[in-house]
Amino acid sequence: MTDSDLLELEVGPVGHGGFCVARHEGLVVFVRHALPGELVRARVTEETRTYLRADAVEILRSSPDRVEPPCMFAGPGRCGGCDWQHATPAAQRALKADVVAEQLRRLAGIDRPVHVEEVPVPAVYTEDGEPLSAPPGFGWRTRVQFAVDPEGAVGLRKHRSHDLEYVDECLIAHPGVEMIGIERKRWPGASAVEGITSAATGDRLVVVSEPKGRRGRPPQVPQLDVPVRLVKPERPGQGPREGRRPVVPFVREEAAGRLWQVTGSGFWQVHPGAADKLADAVLEALQPKPGDIALDLYCGVGLFAGVLGERVGPRGLVVGVEAGGQAVRDAKFNLKDLPQVNIEQGKVEEVLAALEFGQSQGRSTARTQVKRGQEAGHRGGSRVRGADITVLDPPRAGAGEKVVDEIARRTNRKIAYVSCDPATLARDLKYFSARGWVLETLRAFDLFPNTSHVECVASLVRG
């Protein structure tokens, strides 16, 4: 590489996706490994008619927020798992706040200051009681998926690439994941290996995947450094007998004063402090009351349904909606002691359109129940078409206009929107605004330090 291959750039504001924005000869340049206000030399990694992508490879004038990335695998052209190791933790949170504010302003027409809250990682100890400490922003990720090459070597994907950066450790991985030793082993025949640990209970799980359509010898599992439960790929004829559901290992998580079963690669927040922090934020946003009817959409294994169920009490009702069959089974198991919580399986947009609520007077407690579709007769009780409060925690793609429309029509008092993508959150907030709902509060949490990701909880009320 020579000087003629490089661009000298004045780096501008942060953009959504782990880069900063610069300009060169009329083109926008998305620059990674840089910080606002810096002067850098950057190598172009992608070129289109309207923009360039580039990596800052030489810092000519550095930001006071710049630090040396502690990970030997971080940097231009290296591992794509982290975006901001070259910035202080405080600067990272400020960058994320700027991203959230800009997305709200540009996509939703909402102009308000944003503060991203730090979420500490609970202390970790060895079996002998010795502390395992990590610098701020590291040692938090309790679920890490590693890619495996055809020779069985383990790595992490490079940025916007299928190529691997071979690693023997990951600094953002939780110590419980690193104890397993996945990166330091060979995994012949596997395509991916996921290491999972529960920071609260110490449970450990390894999920092994193989290439689609693979035949012949199954993936070989090496001797690991600590005991784990193992999930291996299932092949035709190797599963349980017809009509029987396979038994998949799980980990036990602890949050909101309860134990939660999470099976296999089922969704659970990867930061050890996230579940408690988000549960508290949702309760603060919705202010549930005894007897309320609540919806928990994209409910996963039931975290928000559980905390809402405890607040609305036996005369209330919580309806959780989740598409994943295993997550629904976990949610029902986790919340079997709360009869006021009802878990429905299906796509949110389909289940929501079919839901009707009513109160059965068959018991002295007048226990609230839910019916769907043509079965919604509500004998002996009153029909209620809406919920008092709704929480939704959709995937990164957001809820979309169809789901927003159903929620806006069916919710009477408050909505809490939990989002891992400020762009789709802002888009959906605009949809809510068009239907008479306004943003009341917004909290943002740094649940993914050293990456570009940020979690938000927005509360909405009728305007």
Cα–Cα distance, 433 to 463 (Å, whole number): 8
Given this model, what pLDDT does residue 290 score? 97
326-374 per-position pLDDT tens digit: 999 999 999 999 999 999 999 999 999 888 765 444 433 333 445 544 3
Q: Is 299 annotated in the active site?
A: no
The answer to whether the beta carbons of residues 293 and 387 sit under 8 Å apart is: yes
Residue 383: pLDDT above 50? no
pLDDT band at 123; cut points 50, 70, 90 = confident
Given this model, what pLDDT does residue 369 score? 47
Residue 376: pLDDT above 70? no
Given this model, what pLDDT does residue 245 score? 62
pLDDT (mean) for 100-113: 98
Given this model, what pLDDT does residue 7 score? 97
Given this model, what pLDDT does residue 216 score? 75
Given this model, what pLDDT does residue 364 score? 33
Residue 385: pLDDT above 50? yes
Given this model, what pLDDT does residue 374 score? 37
pLDDT band at 242; cut points 50, 70, 90 = low
Cα–Cα distance, 8 to 59 (Å, whole number): 10
Q: Which of 42-51, 232-241, 406-415, 448-457 has the lowest mean pLDDT?
A: 232-241
The predicted model scores a pTM of: 0.92
pLDDT band at 53; cut points 50, 70, 90 = very high
pLDDT (mean) for 295-310: 98
Residue 380: pLDDT above 80? no
Given this model, what pLDDT does residue 129 score? 73
Q: Are strands 51-61 and 27-32 parallel, antiparallel or unpaired?
A: parallel
Given this model, what pLDDT does residue 76 score? 97
Cα–Cα distance, 324 to 143 (Å, whole number): 19
pLDDT (mean) for 431-438: 98
What own/partner pairs with CB < 8 Å and gap ≥ 24 does 255-258 have? 255/200, 255/279, 255/303, 256/303, 256/306, 256/307, 258/306, 258/334
- Write out the H or E segment, with its range, that includes residue 410: helix 401-410
DSSP 99: H
Given this model, what pLDDT does residue 243 score? 53
pLDDT band at 10; cut points 50, 70, 90 = very high
Given this model, what pLDDT does residue 382 score? 34
Q: Which of 62-71, 211-220, 357-366 has the lowest mean pLDDT?
A: 357-366
The answer to whether the beta carbons of residues 380 and 360 sit under 8 Å apart is: yes
If one counts every other C-beta atom within 10 angstroms of the C-beta of residue 211, the result is 14
The string of DSSP codes covering 103-141 is: HIIIII-------EEE-PPPP-B-TTS-B----TT-S-B
- Write out the H or E segment, with its range, that includes residue 416: strand 411-419
What tokens does 24 get?
């060169």
Given this model, what pLDDT does residue 2 score? 52
Neighbouring-strand partners of residue 342: 319
pLDDT: is 1 or 432 the higher one?
Answer: 432
Given this model, what pLDDT does residue 240 score? 53
Q: Which of 71, 79, 420, 456 is catalytic?
A: 420
Residue-averaged pLDDT of the chain: 91
Read off the amino acid at residue 147.
Answer: A
pLDDT: is 237 or 43 the higher one?
Answer: 43
